[in-house]
Amino acid sequence: MNPDFTVRNTSRVYVARAEELLPQRLCGEQVFVVTDEVVEALYPDLLPHYPHICIPCGEQHKTLTTVESIHRRLLALGADRKSFLLAVGGGIVTDTAGFAASTYMRGIRFGFLSTTLLGQVDASVGGKNGVNVDGYKNMAGTFTQPEFVVCDTTMLRTLPEREFRAGLAEVVKSAIIADPNLFERLEQTSFTQLRSDEALLEQVVRAAVGVKVAIVERDEREAGERRLLNLGHTLAHAIEKCSHAMNHGEAVAVGMRLVADCAVRGAWLSAAERNRICGLLTRLGFVLESPVGLDRLLAEVGKDKKSDGESIHLIVPHAIGHCEVHTLEKEALQTLFKQDK
Ligand code: GLY
């Protein structure tokens, strides 16, 4: 089967059924499956012929300790340099297992079966693998492309509503960054329709993956344009660090709202486009109020270990389908947001 996308000539992305793709892709390999407890319970019969390494669920386990536990299991099971690691799960599983594969014996081949919407449209595609260190996101990791990514939208049927919605935040993000047609299509549909109409969902996933692949093709290592994929994420990471009230997608929705407000104040974005962004997010069921006060959020952004010295790269929407990277001193960022109060 031909892939829907190819990233950097090395990584093939399929929006297709796992049962059709995996037998072809894994034929003849010595495969080790890494998954988590939830996926293992939902799909007990998935890939029974290969050894499974099951990791605990939750962002708190996206750590070097979990990577080490995968390495130890691979070693105990006799994995060698020719082995193939298949990660099956959402973003936490693919980020962690991708890092484990890209460091085991200095790197073995790996692929992903992505089982969440957030994973399919963002985390699994593009070659970023990594884990958190001391609560700071993705502080240890690699840029290594998986050989393939399978996005099977039928697996999203078992996804809880809240997690499905979280993935939609990343879909809206992709639309705001580079795909005004996708944005319009989302405006013309509803949360219920997206959840129930599989053909529509497949189109939407394909469009969002297309945005990501095009950007990663031009800037794999995030020297510039790839930063656009962080729209809404500067504040979202601060929200997630200060409060457990929101998951990643919910926090990204609030982050996109806050940055759209800033963009209007800075005269980069029209009020009408800002209202379309907030209108769509609200219709999809997102709460756009931050559970954490702006002062606390900005203090957290100031501490961000990933900032470039004293500067922050803030992604600002200039129109639906067009965003730009603004490099701001931390103080200028504070001033920009504080006018909000
Ligand atoms: N999730 C953002 C990126 O892959 O660059």
Q: What pLDDT does residue 331 have?
A: 84
Q: Is the pTM of this model over 0.85?
A: yes
Q: What pLDDT does residue 135 have?
A: 83
Atom of ligand 1 nearest to the CA of 226: 5
- 149 and 165, same domain (yes or no): no
- 165 and 103, same domain (yes or no): no
Cα angle 145, 150, 155; round to 5: 140
- pLDDT of 340 higher than 70: no
- 222 and 77, same domain (yes or no): no
Reduce the DSSP state of residue 166 to 3 states and report it: helix
- Count Cβ atoms within 10 A of the Cβ of residue 24 and give its class: 0-12 exposed, 13-18 middle, 19 or more buried: exposed
Q: How far is the CA of 132 from the centre of ligand 1 (A)?
A: 15
Distance CA 247, CA 199 (A): 27
Q: How far is the CA of 83 from the centre of ligand 1 (A)?
A: 27
User: Is the pLDDT higher at 135 or at 270?
Assistant: 270
- 275 and 325, same domain (yes or no): yes
With contact defined as beta carbons under 8 Å apart, do 105 and 80 qualify?
Answer: yes
- 194 and 220, same domain (yes or no): yes
| Boundary (domain end) residue, out of 120, 155, 190 | 155
The domain that holds 43 is classified in CATH as 3.40.50.1970
Which of 122, 129, 137, 228 is the pocket-test mutation for ligand 1 (most atoms within 8 Å of CB)? 122
Cα angle 35, 40, 41; round to 5: 155
Q: How far is the CA of 217 from the centre of ligand 1 (A)?
A: 12
- 17 and 96, same domain (yes or no): yes
Q: Measuring CA to CA, which residue among 230, 257, 255, 237 is closest to residue 302?
A: 237
Instruction: Give the range among 16-25, 115-124, 234-243, 300-309 with minimum mean pLDDT.
Output: 300-309
Of the CA atoms within 13 Å of residue 319, those in its CB half-sphere come to: 6
Q: How far is the CA of 258 from the centre of ligand 1 (A)?
A: 20
Binned at pLDDT 50, 70 and 90, residue 302 comes out as: confident
Boundaries of domain holding 92: 5-155
Which of 129, 219, 226, 306 is the pocket-test mutation for ligand 1 (most atoms within 8 Å of CB)? 226
Tokens of 248: 């990643």
- pLDDT of 207 higher than 60: yes
DSSP state of 52: E
Atom of ligand 1 nearest to the CA of 227: 5
Q: What pLDDT does residue 285 have?
A: 98
Atom of ligand 1 nearest to the CA of 215: 5
| CB of 226 closer than 6 angstroms to any ligand 1 atom | yes
The domain that holds 254 is classified in CATH as 1.20.1090.10
Model confidence pLDDT, tens digit, residues 91-113: 999 999 999 999 999 999 999 99
- 147 and 170, same domain (yes or no): no
- 178 and 202, same domain (yes or no): yes
Q: Measuring CA to CA, which residue among 211, 105, 100, 178 is closest to residue 146?
A: 100
Amino acid at residue number 222: E
Binned at pLDDT 50, 70 and 90, residue 14 comes out as: very high
Q: What pLDDT does residue 332 have?
A: 86
Model confidence pLDDT, tens digit, residues 163-200: 999 999 999 999 999 999 999 999 999 999 999 999 99
Residues 6 or more apart in contact with residue 81 via CB below 8 angstroms:
105, 108
pLDDT more than 90, % of the chain: 89
- 185 and 320, same domain (yes or no): yes
Q: What pLDDT does residue 333 have?
A: 87
Residues 6 or more apart in contact with residue 195 via CB below 8 angstroms:
161, 164, 201
- 52 and 125, same domain (yes or no): yes
Model confidence pLDDT, tens digit, residues 38-50: 999 999 999 999 9
Distance CA 67, CA 78 (A): 17
| Boundary (domain end) residue, out of 138, 155, 172 | 155
- pLDDT of 304 higher than 80: no
Model confidence pLDDT, tens digit, residues 209-265: 999 999 999 999 999 999 999 999 999 999 998 988 999 999 999 999 999 999 999
- 28 and 64, same domain (yes or no): yes
Please give the tally of structural domains in the chain. Answer: 2
| Boundary (domain end) residue, out of 155, 179, 211 | 155
Q: What pLDDT does residue 97 have?
A: 98
- 145 and 166, same domain (yes or no): no
| CB of 229 closer than 6 angstroms to any ligand 1 atom | yes
Distance CA 42, CA 31 (A): 20
Q: Measuring CA to CA, which residue among 240, 259, 251, 243 is closest to residue 314?
A: 259
Q: Measuring CA to CA, which residue among 177, 267, 250 is closest to residue 216?
A: 177
Write the CA distances from 129 to 108, 193, 298, integer angstroms.
Answer: 13, 32, 27
Binned at pLDDT 50, 70 and 90, residue 68 comes out as: very high
Distance CA 83, CA 88 (A): 16
